Amino acid sequence: MSHCKVPALIEAQVEMGSVNELEHKSLFRKEEEDATQAKAASLMEQGSLSLSFPEHATKSPKNSVLRSIKIVIFSNKLNMLLPFGPLAILVHYMIDSKGWVFLLSLIGITPLAERLGYATEQLAFYTGPTVGGLLNATFGNVTELIISIFALKNGMIRVVQLTLLGSILSNMLLVLGCAFFCGGLVFYQKDQVFDKGIAVVNSGLLLMAVMGILFPAVLHYTHSEVHAGSSEMALSRFSSCIMLIAYAAYLFFQLKSQSNSYSPLEEETNENEETCGEDEDPEISKWEAIIWLSILTAWVSLLSGYLVDAIEGASVSWNIPIAFISVILLPIVGNAAEHAGAIMFAMKDKLDLSLGVAIGSSIQISMFVVPFCVVIGWMMGEQMDLNFQLFETAMLFITVIVVAFFLQEGTSNYFKGLMLILCYLIVAASFFVHEDPHEG
């Protein structure tokens, strides 16, 4: 009997060992899959969602003109607001009511900003991740850039400064706050996790942008300029060039230096690409995307001209400060696409993407659009500088510090999102009662 039991015991031990080995392998595979998903989200965030633009040959759809119009114009419910654009132009010439022109232009630009993002994403399918990331960096905030250039041409430097400042504040507080809040409500039983390392790097870049904006204001208010009236402008232009170089280095670091660490990831995701091919393939061809980008950019430029012309009249007729219109109302239009995208990703537990949309857009504006406008103003002969005045600079500085504290743990929940939204309401109320000294 004892001899019979020994093989049975050995067989049982072997079976137990094989079961443990299988459990260990499955656990190891699960950890590998989780790490792969985390890397994928991190890569998409770092490369301005460039992972969705694969390196392999992309199938180019052959659409007719009508089908292309149907895909771009009629596939999105937000495009129901498109008729408000032509209506704004009609009101401008028939009634000339600045308040109505401003409101209708504001509503009409909202779907155009979202469609610009869509067309850029479609074009990036054909250019690969590197150029795709650059396209997203360039066209991601093209609405704010066009409005700023029109305002610069009209000599409305304060509108440019306040609009760009408002876009940064809106992305960091409202867009990120709504993403944290909605994602936290969907996954209320746990804290959502994102890449803490990338968040720290992004916080550092935002603090660098604050440094570039803060020093000219400090130089102005301490009356310590070597050459009164010119040192502040010279510092702003020099700092703008440095910030543009830093942003170019940041893009190069994202799209080139960091790509090697994700090369195994591309091999692992090749199998998944077959199963989700429908999501990976573009809906329109390359030339269709280029044509739509041109049409949408031209239409945004046209409406932006009417919008900027009506800002002062709307401020008078509505009895609302220009600072509030520029910092709160205008950025909501430019950030419509980011707002929707960040919330959608957060509700799918892809918080790294939400962070990339919200914080990445803030970095683009503060490190690229703001200094670019200073350089463009320099070429136009306009006195555009980085002195955003004391109140606005302090608001930006405190906002970056608050957001950096919320990001340092690498986790989020609905409470953090609610706090960011409430902070934005405080900012909005502050600008509603703030009288800009340059309005006169």
- Tell me: the pLDDT tens digits for 238-254? 999 999 999 989 888 87
Residue ranges of domains in the chain: 72-258+285-433
DSSP string, 61-83: ----HHHHHHHHHTT-GGGGGTT
Q: Residue 145: enclosing H or E segment and its boundaries?
A: helix 142-153
Note the pLDDT tens digit of each residue in 47-67.
Answer: 444 444 444 455 667 667 788
Confidence of residue 181 (pLDDT cuts 50, 70, 90): very high
Is the pLDDT score of 427 beyond 60? yes
Q: Which long-range contacts (CB under 8 A, 24 or more apart) does 397-403 make?
A: 397/210, 397/214, 399/168, 399/169, 399/172, 399/173, 399/423, 399/427, 400/172, 400/203, 400/206, 400/207, 400/209, 400/210, 403/172, 403/173, 403/176, 403/203, 403/206, 403/359
C-beta pairs of 83-89 under 8 Å, 24+ apart in sequence: 83/108, 84/108, 85/109, 85/112, 85/299, 85/303, 88/303, 88/306, 88/307, 89/302, 89/303, 89/306
What pLDDT does residue 268 have?
37
pLDDT per residue as tens digits for the range 288-333? 888 988 898 888 888 888 888 888 888 888 888 888 988 998 888 7
- What is the architecture, at CATH level 2, of domain 72-258+285-433? Up-down Bundle (1.20)
- In contact, 121 and 52? CB cutoff 8 Å: yes
Under 8 Å between Cβ of 194 and 355: yes
CA–CA gap between residue 386 and residue 406 (Å, rounded): 27
SS3 411: strand
Tell me how far apart the alpha carbons of residues 109 and 104 are, in angstroms, rounded to a whole number.
9
For residue 132 the two structure tokens come to: 């795709």
Asked if 58 contacts 126 with a C-beta cutoff of 8 angstroms, the reply is yes
Is 70 exceeded by the pLDDT of residue 278?
A: no
Is 55 exposed, middle or buried (CB count within 10 Å of its CB: 0-12, 13-18, 19+)? Answer: exposed
What is the pLDDT averaged over residues 420-431? 94
| pLDDT category of residue 258 using cuts at 50, 70 and 90 | low
123-177, pLDDT tens digit by residue?
A: 877 876 556 656 765 676 777 888 888 889 888 898 899 999 999 999 999 999 9
DSSP state of 349: T
Chain centre to alpha carbon of residue 32: 30
- The residues, ordered by sequence, that sit 6+ positions from 297 with a Cβ below 8 Å of its Cβ are 116, 142, 146
